Structure 1
Amino acid sequence: MIVTRLTTEGLPAAERFTWWYEKARAALLPVVVRSGHTGDFHASADVLELGSARITALTVQPLSIARTPELIRGADPECYQLSLPLSGRMQLSQSGRNAELRGGDLVFYDSSRPFHGRVSAPSGRARHIVAQIPKRLVPLPAGAADHMTAVRIPGDKGFAELLVQFLTQVTGRADQYGPADTAGLSAVLRDLFAATVTQCLAESADLPDENRRQALTLHIHTFIQQHLGDPLLTAARIAGAHHISLRSLHRLFQQQSTTVAAFVRGQRLEHACRDLADPRQRSRPIRAIAAGWGFTRPGDFTRSFRATYGLPPSAYRQLALAPRGAGTPPGGPAAAAPEAAAT
């Protein structure tokens, strides 16, 4: 994992704010930044690169930000941005709503829509964490942004609590993760974000029926991701966990042009494929990797893997772990950045 440190310390006082303004625009989003401390501005940030996702831990003096329609037309990374104040307070407005947050709360907003934010700090400096996730990695239900952007999400319960714990741990212990951990961290961020938003959507009383169906589908996908290693993950168990009938569950997946079994098998294969290409697991037996993702019979795993990727697991591992240029796996998530959304 690549970590970049940004700090105004050591710069002439008169240059600090301008320098920070440009660096923050590049590391986060193009926004207008204003502060009453431009004459002697202090700020720092640790930017953690997780492939196309990013987590940034910031310490800043009070400031305000604005993302305008002009800036959106000029550059839009098409991402969801998630903020977690750790100290100080934060206000954020988007889509006609205004969220007021204290330490431990969460809020998410859309880079493709204008927003305004303000960070205040009675102690002089505020600490908060910002995560950026490409929309293509988290296909939220249609209309989710209309209901959930600029809404305060308490970070002390449900999936939100797990998301807060993840963000604080990763930024607080960034030195414990290496480049090989990037894909795994990105997947955890994606899944926890999706689960948090889906849980909040499910609790929304005014959500239209179609949006509620899409929220349920996303919630089921997240549940499957969290239980892929369990060989007893059946359609009946998935349906029971979500209080729907087997028939309703199968109908949901038919609307996605797949089946429950095919979706689960595909996700298990994708994760096993990543493990086979992981240098840290070079000595781990293939049958152990397969079992870790719910394949109880090695023969079934080998047949499914060959049918999906065109060669057996052993050959795929050999190509994936070969010196650069010696060979390229012909397919699968390990052949490229393993960040495909779990849908």
Structure 2
Amino acid sequence: MDQLTQTLNDTPEKIALFLAKELKDLLQAVPAFRAIRRAFPQAQIGLISFPEYQEVAQRYAAYVDEFIPFPGHPGLSGRKVKASEVVHFFCAMQQRKWDVLLSLQEHGSTVNHMLMLAGAKLTAGYFEASIAEMYEADDRFFIPFALTASSNSSPLQLVASLGIPVENDAVEFPLFAEDEGKARQAWPEWQQKSFICIHPDGDTSHQWPASHYAWLTRKLASEGYPTVLTGLHGRQRTLEEVKRLVKDGEKPAPVIIDQTDLGSLGWIIKQSSLLVSNNCAVTQMAKALQVPSVVITNDWKPEQSEKHVVLSEQAAVNLNTVISTLMNLLKDN
């Protein structure tokens, strides 16, 4: 029996999941969503996160019944918050009378103390291992995040620690007919041919330079590999610079699709032979869609695999290292 059911003396009927970080973290947590849904198929499950992730959450309706916008909290979210909205949020949460509230992010005591205001019967999450002696965490429901902070599966480790069965850590990114429709509208010339998708704008603290992306685009073209440059609506600063650098005289010219949403971008990635980016969330999408990828970042340390390679920013300074990595992936996949 899982710890939640054992402690409550009943199967939880109302479960809230809290995850208010970056998009990549939300995508990485999907295996945990799946495990919780399978353990509690009849429960009402709500996901608490930043409002901009509502569209993403709707893709996981099989696991999450409801999206609950989180207004932020002083000292936590790194964004401006209104005190009145925070107070209203927690009053509304208390009225919901949740059986369980799970924090799926490793912020320790700051998050835990905040979530106690939601008034759930039982709260579970992480605590900071470095101050374990100062933090009275019930080890039946809390695990030290320092042991799992670099792991892609840390939400799953929390779930497993609660006695909830975990089948696998496979990520998912469901695609729908409307995603194809939007992608074809953005790319009316699309034909079912092999191409490499390059997504320049990252979500990391350090952006791989536009000049490097431009060089990579030219190099791939010279090797006979068509390229497609993509950008999410409202996040195309690096893409615009790459466009300027490759605009004149490029033969063959790269296809440029600069107004995608996540769904249409996912569909384009699905059609590609390989993705190159330093956007960890977009790379998670490629992994979910089983498309080989190279991500350039120091901010993410997933397990390496035959299909998905992480290059550190230091390694990616050598452009020949990047191109040889791409060629090896294309050859092996």
TM-score, normalising length: structure 1: 0.22
Q: Which has the higher helix share?
A: 1
Q: RCO (CA 8 Å, sep 6+): is it higher in 1 or 2? A: 2
